Structure 1
């Protein structure tokens, strides 16, 4: 909404109009997001119209509905190659270690990119192996327990990071050479370079696996492990939902259709129930 307000201020319109909303929704973004961007303005316009009757509420159906991209589920080998490549891309920079452990944490915990990038050093309790993720999406905070191997890896990183006084004084857990927190662009660019090197993206293409797919991979692997161990998925799904920071369990259900192996496991469970009732 802040972006829309700035766009509106630069226009000649004195009130929110459908034309203005459509122009903003399709400005500087790909078609995949136009529908959701316009929907955001539509909700805002309904609220604004109470005080300003000249406000126009953009009609629905102008853009096709947004579709979630099909998630890419990484193999163990691809994740290991990603981490190894981060060490190779920046041989003379501390970013080699930062990106190596940063992407490793995403793969090991399913954290959102922003959650890991904004993680404060005071919120990483490596004595107990617990992360405190504060005020993230939908204003939720949560505790994220770590596997001992992940805790040990982050401890190695923090030791190397704090050798430099500039980095030691940074409030963020992950830092660059100058002791600043991570921005959005640089890790993404390094990630794209890896996908091209690994053959997961065309050399000049824009379509390909995303960093967010590490989160999908974590969720799918967790569900598969529960299926294969015979756990009650319905009972355990709220645990995964809480761990991932979802507001509702239904947001976690979509991972059940994210991988053919999950669908196969669900089919086997259903077949077994039918056989038991025959």
Structure 2
């Protein structure tokens, strides 16, 4: 049996593939779970060839057990087939794009300045014994002021937060990219207060900067729960249909708020986009252009300013 519990004849290849993905900064548990399902299917059916019949047989079996439009899990077996082919299995089958569902990229909820102000006022009034009573403002302020991903804030350690220097280090983030970001004086003050309060409650050294009541790292579910609790406490509206606010929308707001500010100041937005991409940890400008195209207000204003110029922003290639 392999380190991940694989038992089929593909166990060694599956382990090699996961090791490769880990070296690229991809650690998702979902990938491992689905590949274990594939491994079990192959072991149960005594399959020894990574051919079309094996791959599509498993995909068909799994899809029939969970009908619906959700098919992103198919990318794992497609990627494994590519890896196996590159690494010497000339007959390895790469799942056809025919199996892909039509892709619709989710649209962000564009936070208004009033909503943000009311949200943080409500966050400062949280009551209870949970660490969120003193962590919430600092946690979401990092997303709002630095454009961090939710996971990047959750994974911060006390060693990554340099309050004396006024910087944080975002290490081994998406794609194994590191970056060092400056903090405003207000953020330093918030983080210092949060750190002091946590040290008074959690004895000894702690691994995460933001913690659950048990002292363990904050979970993604906990972030969503406290965000919704604060949103409702602020008496902000929530539509039953269409786009709904999420913690990640603070990152979106950071991006287009900077774009709008540069535009209003007469700054060359295109010249600033590479800096914004680096600051936000994007692998390429394509990801940064996405934020440009998701802000209708910005695009309308930008079009008014540049109507006498050639088109400056490329279309987003989804």
TM-score class, shorter-chain normalisation, is 0.7 to 0.9
Distance change in 2, residues 1:123/1:44 (3 Å): same
Q: How far 1:272 moved relative to its partner? A: 4.0
Distance change in 2, residues 1:29/1:181 (3 Å): farther
- The alignment status of 1:2 with 2:27, answered yes or no, reads no
Aligned pairs for 1:149-228 (under 5 A) are 149-166=186-203, 168-195=204-231, 198-202=236-240, 208-228=244-264
Matched residue, 1:235: 271
Matched residue, 2:13: none
Q: How far 1:74 moved relative to its partner? A: 0.8
Please say if residues 169 and 179 of structure 1, whose CA atoms lie closer than 8 Å, have aligned partners that are also in contact: no
3-state SS, counterpart of residue 78 of structure 1: helix
Q: How far 1:104 moved relative to its partner? A: 1.8
Separation in 2, partners of 1:18, 1:225: 50
Distance change in 2, residues 1:27/1:235 (3 Å): farther
Matched residue, 2:57: 19
Instruction: Give me the CA root mean square deviation.
Output: 2.7
Number of positions where the alignment pairs a residue of Structure 1 with one of Structure 2 = 269
Q: How far 1:107 moved relative to its partner? A: 1.2
- The alignment status of 1:65 with 2:95, answered yes or no, reads no
Unaligned runs of 5+ residues in structure 2 are 1-30, 311-318
Please say if residues 108 and 243 of structure 2, whose CA atoms lie closer than 8 Å, have aligned partners that are also in contact: no
Aligned pairs for 1:1-278 (under 5 A) are 1-11=31-41, 12-13=44-45, 14=47, 15=50, 16-21=54-59, 24=62, 31=69, 33-34=70-71, 36-49=72-85, 51-52=88-89, 55-88=92-125, 90-166=127-203, 168-195=204-231, 198-202=236-240, 208-273=244-309
> What does the per-residue CA deviation read over 1:80-101, in whole Å, with 9 as the maximum and x for residues that have no partner?
3333444555523222212232
Distance change in 2, residues 1:24/1:129 (3 Å): farther
Taking structure 1 as the reference length, the TM-score comes to 0.85
Separation in 2, partners of 1:83, 1:107: 10
Pick which of 55-64 and 171-180 moved more: 55-64
Separation in 2, partners of 1:95, 1:263: 36
Q: How far 1:126 moved relative to its partner? A: 0.9
Pick which of 176-185 and 252-261 moved more: 176-185
Q: How far 1:147 moved relative to its partner? A: 1.8
Separation in 2, partners of 1:28, 1:142: 40
> What does the per-residue CA deviation read over 1:7-53, in whole Å, with 9 as the maximum and x for residues that have no partner?
2233234355123235557877973x52x432342122133246556
Taking structure 2 as the reference length, the TM-score comes to 0.75
Separation in 1, partners of 2:40, 2:197: 47
Distance change in 2, residues 1:23/1:140 (3 Å): farther
